[in-house]
Amino acid sequence: MGVSKTELWEICHRLGIKANVARDFMRVLRAVWRASIEHAPPSSYFDHCDYRTLKDLLTRGGVVDQARPSIEHFLRSQSFIPPDNRGLLAQREELGMPNVFPERTNERTNEALSPDALGQRRGAPTERRV
């Protein structure tokens, strides 16, 4: 990635993600990406991982039983980062993937919440009215 530890921590802090969780997310994403190109299981792209650690990473990535999962499958199934996180929403948008979360609805109107509303709900800064 080419950033200092301090810069990585600051970016993660702004997005509400722990740095070690972001690292694990990227490790599995990189393995899924390489697996989709080279037609091999994601588990083959982890150099120094014992079986339990590898199984935990792939389980949290939602790809433990997948021979060649797609990046979209990983982004929908992973449990490292909440699906309504601003950083994950931006990543999905950058990849041209829809940001639809039908299970998240407004309790009063029963309508699906937009990514902006989801971000505000998770503690994003909002304007205070006096």
Tell me the mean pLDDT in the region 87-105: 73
Mean pLDDT of the chain: 79
pTM (predicted TM-score): 0.70
Query: 87 versus 104: which is more confidently predicted?
Result: 87
pLDDT over 90 percentage in the chain: 39
Give tens-digit pLDDT for 27-44.
Answer: 999 999 999 898 889 998
| pLDDT of res. 2 | 72
| pLDDT of res. 56 | 93
| Residue 59 binned pLDDT confidence (cut-offs 50, 70, 90) | very high
| pLDDT of res. 120 | 46
Please give the Cα distance from 91 to 57 (Å, whole number).
20
- CA proximity to 60, closest of 25, 36, 89, 84: 25
Task: Return all residues near 59 (Cβ < 8 A) that are at least 6 apart.
Answer: none
